Amino acid sequence: MLSYEHDDTIAHRLDPRSKLAVQIAFAAAALSHTSGRALVALTAITALFLTVAGVSILRTLSAYRFALVIIAIAPLVSAATLGPPWIDVADGLESARAGYRVVLVLLVSAAYVRSTRIRDSRAAVQRTIPGKPGQLLGVGIALVFRFFPVLQADVRRIRQASAARLGTERGAIDRASHIGLLGLTRAFDRADRLSLALRARCFAWNPTLPRLSFTRLDAPAFAVAVALGAGTFL
Amino acid sequence: MATEHGAVEPVRDEIVRQFARAALLAALIGAVAPVSIPIPFSPAPITLQVLFVFLAGLVLGPVWGTVSLTLYLAAGAVGIPVFAGFSAGPGVLFGRSGGYLWAYPVAAGLIGLLVHRGTDLRAPADVSLPVLVGALVAGTAVIYGMGSGYMAWLLDMTVVEALMVGAVPFVPVELLKLVAAIAIVKSGRLQPVGT
């Protein structure tokens, strides 16, 4: 599983905002080109980012294996044609090249995930998006992070209890609505208790955030983001 | 450490309740990602994420349903492993399933709008069956339309090819989720805030 890992790489020392800028610019540049030369350049940039963030390629690919299956199937479906010649290699290759850049985008985003703490991302979101939407998004991300494992345990308990009572023998709709209803009522019970606690602590639109600061290291990162962004229009 | 020195501006009670529900629903969608229920004669098992997209629109309404799914996308983008297969990262939003993911908040908003006819929520158990079915079918169409459309563009496939890979195997299963979602709201055990 991909997650933040404590380390001291250059990527770890960058401000999350410059890393997000690089991510978005890279995705934009990758999604606007499929030529062979562009893919070679994008591969080189990806390799650089992965090295800078200390990412293991194999572990990352295995974390994204679900996405990779469809990316691998797409060229086969594209190449298959109804009627002679049955297999259109050029069509399949075009789709394979398009799929390859998606793999690069996923790899680069692993560099962000590995090198950025959730609370830093949250602060970056909250500082970059102005006003109440930014506040809600920032606090919301923090709450999702906090409650994700709690609700995972809830869902696990619901499924185990249901299996112990032969719930696995029931029809698919029955099972789906059982997990859906119980999962949601429990989550909403928690939400209502949480909102009471938030109100008791004067939940406000203007709380104090962790400090973020750009350093000299961020200048080259922003330069890369701008260059990649410009590359989108080449 | 830099602190805010202005007057504290508390968030209104009703907004806090809806917001807490939206955030926990977003976390729940991530938590149910690994749950899959096999069904006979179908290559695709039932996964519960889309069921909760339906429920977000039905129970939280157009505004907070959209907020909830936006939070889900933001949480996944910054690295919380809430996407299918415990994946995360900004790249997933641009990847193969990006179109489906971006469609979630749109679908939840659309379902909420059709069911609640505005931003004032009403109990979904009291809404007539044709309206519920129509709203959920529209939401499903948005999710698979945007999902397959984006996949066709991204992987350089024709729309028909993308639909064969990204929609046809899953749509029959969506009908089962639609029935499950309606059974859940008709049970009357989920009350929207303010009803």
> Taking residues A78-105, what's their average pLDDT?
81
Whole-number pLDDT of residue A213: 82
Give the angle subtended at the CA of B189 by the CAs of B107 and B80, to the nearest 5°: 50
Q: Which of A4, A71, A113 sits opposite B96 (nearest CB)?
A: A71
Cis ω on the peptide bond leading into residue A85 (within 30° of 0)? yes
* Cβ contacts of B88 on chain A, cutoff 8 Å: 2-3, 113
Q: How high is the pLDDT of residue A196?
A: 93
Strand partners of residue A204:
B10
- What is the mean pLDDT for each group of 10 consecutive residues in chain B (195 residues)? 67 90 95 75 70 94 96 92 84 88 96 91 90 95 92 86 83 87 89 80
In A161-206, beta strands by DSSP E? none
In CATH terms, the fold of domain B15-33+46-186 is Arp2/3 complex 21 kDa subunit ARPC3 (1.10.1760)
Strand partners, B37: B46
Q: Which helix (H) or strand (E) holds B47?
A: strand B46-47
**E strands within chain A?**
none
Nearest by CB to A187, from B24, B155, B157: name it. B24
Which sequence spans correspond to the domains of chain A?
10-116+213-231, 132-200
pLDDT over 90 at A194, yes or no: yes
Q: In chain A, what residues touch B90 (CB-CB under 8 Å)?
A: 20, 23-24, 27, 109, 112
Q: Sign of the C-alpha dihedral, residues A176, A180, B56, B61?
A: positive
Q: Which two structure tokens, joined as six digits, stand for A221?
A: 């990162």
**pLDDT of res. B139:** 96
Percent of chain A with pLDDT over 90: 29
- Which pLDDT score is estimated for B2? 57
* Average pLDDT for chain A: 87
Category of B112 on φ-ψ map: left (φ > 0), alpha (ψ -120 to 50) or beta: alpha
Q: Measured between CB atoms, does B185 come within 8 Å of chain A?
A: no
| pLDDT reported for residue A192 | 93
Higher pLDDT, A51 or A91: A51
pLDDT at A84 over 80: no
User: Residue B116's pLDDT is what?
Assistant: 93
pLDDT in tens, A86-96: 777 877 888 88
Q: Which residue in B133, B124, B114, B135 sits closest to B195, CA to CA?
A: B124
Q: What average pLDDT does this structure show over A130-140?
A: 88
Lowest mean pLDDT segment, chosen from A113-127, A192-206, B41-55, B164-178: B41-55
Counting one residue from chain A and one from chain B, the pairs whose CB atoms sit within 8 A come to 270
* A81 pLDDT above the threshold of 80: no
- Of all residues in chain A, what percent carry a pLDDT higher than 70? 97
More confident of the two residues A71 and B126: B126
A179 has pLDDT over 70: yes
The partner residue sitting opposite B88, judged by closest CB among A2, A75, A98, is A2
Whether B164 contacts A77, CB under 8 Å:
yes
| Closest of B78, B139, B92 to residue B113, by C-alpha | B139
- Subunit contact B176:A172, Cβ cutoff 8 A: yes
Q: Which residue has the higher pLDDT, A193 or A97?
A: A193
Domain boundaries, chain B: 15-33+46-186
